[in-house]
Chains A and B, each alone.
Chain A
Amino acid sequence: MFKLLDKTGIKESLFALSLGAVLALTTNFAYAEKFGFGDTATQDQIAGWDIDIRPDGKGLPEGRGTIEAGEGLYEERCATCHGLFGEGEGRWPVLAGGEGTLQEERPTKTVGSYWPYASTLYDYIRRAMPFTAPRSLSDQQVYDITAYLLYLNEIVEEDFVLTKDSLATIEMPNKDNFFVDPRPDVKNVRCMQNCADPTKLKIVGTLRGITPVGHFVEGADAPASSHDAQMEQEQNKEKVRKATLKGESAEVATHSKAVALTEMAMAGKDIYDGACKVCHGSGLTGSPKFGDAEAWSSRIPKGMPQLVQHAIKGFTGDTGVMPPKGGRVDLSDKQVENAVAYMVESSQ
């Protein structure tokens, strides 16, 4: 009993006594030193969640990934954000290229130029990708996409087949360039007087126009309440600054208007936030931007049935490609329709 108390740091004797009484009733003395809370996890329960992969291949499921199969999947599920060749759209991660840039002023850290282990690619795609639909790919699809990304990075040849065994044997180019944290790596001293030559202090200020200043905007109704609202405030601020330089006043857009949404559109908001916003929130890859009446003015006249049809089946337009259901094939047609309604009603 005292061993238990030492272990758990319980000092209150009253509680200790009552706990002791409970333990005394426990028939299984193997648990006498344990609390016994929780159930033994079954192999089934563990298997469903045990998704991790290690560099030695531990955790890899059966499968056979080919570059051919991976190419189609990558273009359908990944290229919208990461670009057709892994070059990255907007500020989404660049996946390929960047070899030999790690010592440059602006290094490009990619799978090929930086990642030490190929296993990480399989693990990460399986646990978190595609961004808007994590855990939606089959183990086989993850093998195919992983193979294709290794190919895009010129780590494997076109005929390479990725399996449980071959993945663990892949040597990544930057593998040997990681070392364990050596900090503390600098040693300052607690000097109190004459610690620096005051004539040699070089004072460098900030660059203008980088700090978000939305919250200082005079007349702003409320502080930026969201990423988007703050981004809008920044853009407005910049418009005003430029106009002021020219001695003009600026008309700025605001989404603070109260839009009366239909029930259908309201139901579509969560779908939009979780699935569509990634592209439509910023107008990525030529998509009409949420709230941008101009961008939607050529689309809305086509009518809801056609817009919904395009969203469900996919559509290639003048400015870009809409993949079927934006890559979220798990969504029902009704959910997509609701999301389209939400976007249309908010963008008129």
Chain B
Amino acid sequence: MSKIIKGPSTRELMAQMARESEHLSTNDRRDFLRKGIATVGGMAATVVAGGAIGDEINVNNLPPNEPSWGKQLGHGVVEYPYGGPSKYEKHVVRRTVPWLTADSIASISMTPLQDLKGIITPNGLVFERYHGGVPQINPDEHRLIIHGLVERPIIFTMEDLMRFPSVSEIKFIECPANGGMEWKGAQMEALQFTHGMLSCCEWTGVPLKVLLDEVGVKPEGKWILAEGADGSHMSRSIPLEKALEDTLVVYAQNGEMLRPEQGYPLRLLNPGWEGNTSIKWLRRLEIGDSPWYHREETSKYTDLMPDGRARKFTFVQESNSVITSPCPEKPMIKPGFVEIEGIAWSGRGKVKQVDISFDGGVSWVPAKLKGLVLDKALTRFSLVTKWDGQPWLLQSRSVDETGYVQPTLSQLRKVRGGNSIYHKNSIHTWKIAPTGEVTNVQIT
């Protein structure tokens, strides 16, 4: 079976119309765009909600008419015992860049940051990264063994672990390769692909320190090997200091048990550190006196410098920020008031300040942090301003509580070249065209 897919998309037609209307005055252009959508390409009127294609509009559901849903009953309780989003939100999904990896089993998908509000990532949209696919683990058959340089090695059932006093903390988790496709140049025409290896949840579990006190770490214990139960048996060496500071052994996220994709029934969480250290499907913690230098801390997740040498144990996700509205998926709708919104975060603590530039970094104005401002969590920023249809080179720049200022791309490239893959946290630029179209550009 095959089907015909029409050539240009609605969004492309919009962009085309926008280009054609560039010479018009603001009011004329607005009219042109509005009428154009209903007629160009012979399409019926469609709703364009920030790049997503909705269903056709039925004028019978618009005032002064009583809409169809007001004239009938909806479904009753437990029709959907575990509810999902509205059918009109089906475009809000994780997506991948297929050419990045050889296979979907050892691959990554990105969170649709362009469609999210606040700082919490819904569980079904948290970005995925697997090295051997998602195992389906029966929690009754799952065990965590802590051994090595300890007074008493202990094997825990899930029930044992959930008896410990629990903590719940909101923390971001980010893949160090987030943005890594853009080291050598702008590549991705979508926020989801430039920054979507990033999520933020409320995680519930036991501080690892509590479990370490339980086994009694010997004085010569300095490093911990964390290992997963999945087919990749993913492993990383974690310094003991981190474990004593804030590492969690987590079994729940956003109020429910972990999703299989996030390590059900048990995972590690190293707040602020590169995501791969937060081993999923955690089954074993071994205490040792030196690191193990496993594949994921030598062959991978080391940062190659221009002189051919490489940085190891590059744990921290340094402060970063990006504007989420507007973005390529959410173009400017029309001139007038606009709220510039985005997210900022730092693996070293709280975000202290975010500034916004409209001219590619020549001048900056402070944005407002809104909602919760938490340690190692996504922090939302906002600036309400007016857009008169002039072109913008829109940027955000975060400052964290250690005083670290998010660097420019040129500053990073000067030190690290273009082959380090990981930890690209530079100031990001969206180019806003007079049409409202948003494209990804780099300023050098």
Q: Which residues of A contact B (CB under 8 A)?
A: 7-10, 33-35, 37-41, 45-46, 49-56, 58, 81, 90-92, 102-103, 107, 109, 111, 114-117, 119-120, 123-124, 127-128, 131, 134-135, 177-198, 201-207, 210-220, 222-228, 230-231, 234, 236-237, 240-241, 243-244, 249-254, 257, 274, 277-278, 281-282
Contact B295 A226 (CB under 8 A): no
Contact A190 B9 (CB under 8 A): no
- Closest B residue by C-beta to A59: B292
B214 on the A face (CB < 8 A): yes
Contact A211 B189 (CB under 8 A): yes
Contact A91/B102 with A54-B290, A190-B405, A254-B3 known, Cβ cut-off 8 Å: yes
> How many angstroms from the CA of A50 to the CA of B415 in the assembled complex?
40
> How many angstroms from the CA of A50 to the CA of B284 in the assembled complex?
8
Contact A205 B165 (CB under 8 A): no
Q: Which of A8, A34, A52 contacts B286 (CB 8 A)?
A: A52
- Closest A residue by C-beta to B444: A202
Q: A50-B284, A123-B235, A212-B95 are in contact. List 13 more A-B contacts (CB 8 A).
A: A54-B288, A91-B102, A123-B292, A128-B231, A178-B312, A187-B407, A188-B405, A197-B362, A198-B360, A211-B188, A215-B93, A218-B9, A224-B93
B301, chain A: closest CB distance, angstroms: 11
Q: Which of A37, A225, A249 contacts B164 (CB 8 A)?
A: A37
Q: Which of B3, B53, B210, B362 contacts A194 (CB 8 A)?
A: B362
Q: Which of B133, B186, B190 contacts A205 (CB 8 A)?
A: B186
Report chain A residues within 8 Å CB of B310: 102, 114, 177-179
Interface string of B393-429 (1 = CB under 8 A from A): 1000101000011111001101110010001000001
Contact A206 B107 (CB under 8 A): no
Report chain B residues within 8 Å CB of A190: 353, 355, 364, 397, 399, 405
Contact B210 A102 (CB under 8 A): no
Report chain A residues within 8 Å CB of B364: 190-193, 195
A2, chain B: closest CB distance, angstroms: 15
> How many angstroms from the CA of A317 to the CA of B364 in the assembled complex?
65
Contact B2 A37 (CB under 8 A): no
B98 on the A face (CB < 8 A): yes
> How many angstroms from the CA of A37 to the CA of B102 in the assembled complex?
43
Contact A198/B359 with A34-B214, A35-B164, A51-B233 known, Cβ cut-off 8 Å: yes
Contact A251 B147 (CB under 8 A): no
B443 on the A face (CB < 8 A): yes
Report chain B residues within 8 Å CB of A10: 165
> How many angstroms from the CA of A81 to the CA of B105 in the assembled complex?
14
Chain B contacts with A in 122-148, Cβ cutoff 8 A: 131-133, 145-147
How would you classify the secondary structure of chain A's contact residues: helix, strand, loop or mixed? loop
Contact A181 B160 (CB under 8 A): no
B309 on the A face (CB < 8 A): yes
Chain B contacts with A in 231-270, Cβ cutoff 8 A: 231-233, 235
A48, chain B: closest CB distance, angstroms: 10
Q: Which of A35, A46, A192, A205 contacts B153 (CB 8 A)?
A: A46
Report chain A residues within 8 Å CB of B7: 240-241, 243-244, 249
B45 on the A face (CB < 8 A): no
7 A-B residue pairs with Cβ-Cβ distance under 8 Å, sorted by A, are: A41-B155, A114-B299, A206-B439, A223-B91, A236-B5, A274-B133, A278-B105
Contact A38 B157 (CB under 8 A): yes
Q: Which of A7, A109, A127 contacts B233 (CB 8 A)?
A: A127
> How many angstroms from the CA of A197 to the CA of B102 in the assembled complex?
43
Q: Which of B51, B53, B98 contacts A231 (CB 8 A)?
A: B98
* Surface stretch bound by A, among B25-33, B73-81, B314-322: B314-322
Most chain B beta carbons < 10 A, residue from A37, A197, A205, A219 = A37
Contact B2 A179 (CB under 8 A): no
Report chain B residues within 8 Å CB of A90: 102
Contact B5 A240 (CB under 8 A): yes
B57 on the A face (CB < 8 A): no
Interface string of B1-32 (1 = CB under 8 A from A): 11111111111100000000000000000000
Contact B95 A92 (CB under 8 A): no
Contact A220/B5 with A41-B153, A196-B362 known, Cβ cut-off 8 Å: yes
